């Protein structure tokens, strides 16, 4: 909603360009304000190694408005590099494989007010062992010109982080030498993520060991991935993944008596009925499985793809990674994507239920390559829909 409001304000600003501020990027060490002053006895940069965490969605954010692409994420990234390298002799983005003395968690949002770009930066500073030193938010503004939005996003980010870092060094510069350099491998990632997931998807059990199969893109860019096991969400990691096939396996750590089996034959029958189970639109819809029905509409996928086919069962955001099951209780595929309807509508074409799934043949090759056990054949001991529902669970991606 905030991004939508920002887009509307940018459009209004563009129509009233004379009322919008023209601005250029600030240069390092040229922002003068008493609240940014560093105590005279402090020498910068501090001999300190810090790691910075910003949600990946914020670092990659960009949007199209008023005939051009605006890239707040790129400006934020460059502002972070500029200001942190000025205050500390070693700065890096947060990774669990590295060492650090402090961890900075930064989460910005922007808005337009009276022609100015306002940033609200929520932040928290931790020692490398996970102890929180303090958390707060700062609000800063910058001039904004939609013809050069980069400068507005950069300047607002720079000033907000300047406020954070000046406060930090004034309070903690004397303690820096006493903080040990520690591996971040044991850092509690739950302290960095937001309460609500950035996206959701679906997975399902592929064997009795508790291995879950899903689409690889469901796990992409997640700092923390959680799977619903029983009545609780459990943090998990991918055990195997293929970007090319868009498949991934997650170890749930809990055995499951309900799991899906692959067909003995790899061939797909055009028009065959199938059932899709998934957890779409979580947060908007109640958290419960969604079941739809359709057919194999083509045994081929997009041009050039040999690993997918088309099906007609309706899917929604969050359906990715869900199983497609035959009336014989056999796994026919993994839901991976839908046709991009927006670009086709612009061409006057309105496609309906053109969705894609990974073929059983490619699923078998993927599982065999990574030594993931699975079974083949029909299961006549349980009704197909009941088995699929019991085998399927939701996946939440956190940043």
> Can you list the domains of the chain with their CATH numbers?
2-190 (3.40.50), 199-398 (2.40.10.120)
Q: For a pLDDT cut of 70, what percent of the chain falls above it?
A: 88
Residue 79 and residue 254: Cα distance in Å, rounded?
44
- Residues 297-343 have pLDDT tens digits of 999 987 767 899 999 999 988 999 999 999 988 999 999 988 755 55
pTM of the model: 0.85
pLDDT at 5: 56
341: its two tokens: 């309807």
Q: For residues 334 and 247, is the Cβ–Cβ distance under 8 A?
A: yes
Enclosing H/E stretch for 162: helix 149-172
Helix (H, G, I), strand (E, B) or coil at 263: coil
- Residues 138-182 have pLDDT tens digits of 999 999 887 889 999 999 999 999 999 999 999 999 888 789 999
Residue 246 and residue 357: Cα distance in Å, rounded?
10
Which residue is listed with tokens 């499951």?
Answer: 256
- Residues 52-68 have pLDDT tens digits of 999 999 999 998 887 88
Query: Per DSSP, what are the bridge partners of residue 116?
Result: 113, 143
> What band does 392 get if pLDDT is binned at 50, 70 and 90?
very high
Helix (H, G, I), strand (E, B) or coil at 55: coil
Q: For a pLDDT cut of 90, what percent of the chain falls above it?
A: 68
104: its two tokens: 């900075």
């Amino acid at each position: 909603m905030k991004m939508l409001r920002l887009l509307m304000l940018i459009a209004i600003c563009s129509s009233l360009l004379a009322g919008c501020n023209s601005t250029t990027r600030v240069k390092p060490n040229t922002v003068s304000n008493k609240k940014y002053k560093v105590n005279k006895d402090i020498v910068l940069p501090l001999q300190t190694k810090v790691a910075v965490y910003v949600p990946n969605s914020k670092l990659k954010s960009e949007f199209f408005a008023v005939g051009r692409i605006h890239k707040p994420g790129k400006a934020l990234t460059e502002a972070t590099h500029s200001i942190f390298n000025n205050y500390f002799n070693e700065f890096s983005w947060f990774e669990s494989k590295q060492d650090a003395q402090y961890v900075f968690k930064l989460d910005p949002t922007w808005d337009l007010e009276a022609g100015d770009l306002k940033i609200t930066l929520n932040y928290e500073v931790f020692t490398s062992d996970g102890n929180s030193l303090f958390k707060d938010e700062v609000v800063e503004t910058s001039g904004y010109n939609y013809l050069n939005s980069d400068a507005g996003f950069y300047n607002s980010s720079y000033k907000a982080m300047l406020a954070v870092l000046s406060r930090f060094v004034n309070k903690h510069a004397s303690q820096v030498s006493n903080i040990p350099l520690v591996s971040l491998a044991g850092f509690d990632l739950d302290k960095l993520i937001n309460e609500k997931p950035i996206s959701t998807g679906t997975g399902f059990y592929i064997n009795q060991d508790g291995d879950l199969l899903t689409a690889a893109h469901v796990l992409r860019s997640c700092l923390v991935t959680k799977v619903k096991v029983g009545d609780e969400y459990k943090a998990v990691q991918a055990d195997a993944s293929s970007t090319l096939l868009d498949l991934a396996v997650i170890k749930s750590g809990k055995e499951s008596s309900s799991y899906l089996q692959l067909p003995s034959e790899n061939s797909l029958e055009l028009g065959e009925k199938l059932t899709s189970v998934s957890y779409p639109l979580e947060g908007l819809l109640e958290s419960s499985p969604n079941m739809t029905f359709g057919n194999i509409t083509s045994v081929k996928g997009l041009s050039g793809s040999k690993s997918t086919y088309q099906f007609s069962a309706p899917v929604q955001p969050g359906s990715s990674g869900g199983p497609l099951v035959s009336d014989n209780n056999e796994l026919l595929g993994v839901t991976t994507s839908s046709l991009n309807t927006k670009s086709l509508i612009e061409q006057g074409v309105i496609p309906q239920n053109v969705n894609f799934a990974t073929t059983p043949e490619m699923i078998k090759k993927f599982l065999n390559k990574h030594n993931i056990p699975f079974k083949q054949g029909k299961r006549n001991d349980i009704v197909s829909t009941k088995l699929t529902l019991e085998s399927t669970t939701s996946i939440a991606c956190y940043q």
